[in-house]
Amino acid sequence: MAESQYAGRGQQQNKWHSEPGKNLTFSILLTPSFLPVLQQFDLTRVVSLGVYEALKPLLGDHLKIKWPNDIYYDNHKLGGILIETHLQGDKIKNGVIGIGLNINQERFEPGAGNAISVKQILHKDYDLRALLLEICGYIEGYYLNLKAGNFSFVRNVYLSRLYWLNEAKQFQSNGEVFTGTIINVKDEGLLVVENKNELQEFSLKQIEFLNK
């Protein structure tokens, strides 16, 4: 856990800015050797759900997981997750999970986009270490479900918590703006969007949510 982070990274080389001592910025090392390489998106599901479950009692139904692994409150970003896996043959040797969550920060730089913090929502400070323990506990619970082979359970819960699920919304892909509806996430992590009665599958770099 870092009290101060000066070179935080997000998805696709994005920067992650965090005011010292105000937020949760931490990493977890997992060794999921039981998980085949083609199923590594299940790690994303487990970690996203762990964060979600810890924050849900505070923030209620406005909280969602934005595919693949951002944590959202309404249309604002509360945090993000970055997972780097190291492979050994067809197995995952280990995974380093970096998590950044806006907890007690009250102001964000102009370049922070749609960032929001728990304090901005609820107008009170929260104990960072207590919240960290909650998150780790929930991650462990879902991780053990994965280790026990309960893949369908983890995948179904993740899908049910998804931002914009079954809602007609605007996206952009290959320079084209279209209205689509998220209906599923494939086992390997591809996003399934219905567009003009056709199902299309997207990886992270192929689709943008127009939620700003």
CA dist., res. 90 & res. 87, Å (int): 7
Q: What's the confidence (pLDDT) of residue 15?
A: 53
> Which 8-state DSSP code applies to residue 148?
T
The conformation of residue 115, written as its DSSP 8-state character, comes to B
Instruction: State pTM to two decimals.
Output: 0.91
Q: Is the pLDDT of residue 2 over 80?
A: no
pLDDT of residue 112: 77
| pLDDT over 80 at 18, yes or no | no
Nearest to 193, CA basis, from 185, 181, 203, 204? 181
pLDDT band at 17 (very low <50, low <70, confident <90, very high): low
- Give 128's contacts (C-beta < 8 A, 6+ positions apart): 1, 23, 24, 103, 104
